[in-house]
Amino acid sequence: MPFVITSACVNEKAADCVEVCPVDCIHEGDDQYFIDPDICIDCGACEPVCPVEAIYPDDEVPEEEEPFILKNVNFFK
């Protein structure tokens, strides 16, 4: 999974990331957006445009945000 959207997105859903994604891999959930790891090309376009800094490369997710990795995986099951 290249990128993960974390807690800062919950109930924020600014959608700036959706607009810049070249492969449309960001999908809206009930309370936040999620990045489809099977479609994401790891370009990183989403990360700098997030106004709440909710997007991290999967290997840089802060420890307190790690539950959002599993939340993302479960969204696409």
Torsion sign across C-alpha atoms 32, 47, 70, 18? positive
pLDDT at 16: 97
Owner of token pair 């974390």: 6
**pLDDT tens per residue across span 16-74:** 999 999 999 999 999 999 999 999 999 999 999 999 999 999 999 999 999 999 999 99
- The predicted model scores a pTM of 0.94
Give me 27's structure tokens: 């999908």
Look up the CATH architecture of domain 3-75: 2-Layer Sandwich (3.30)
Quick count: other Cβ atoms within 10 Å of Cβ 63?
6
What residue spans define the domains of the chain?
A: 3-75
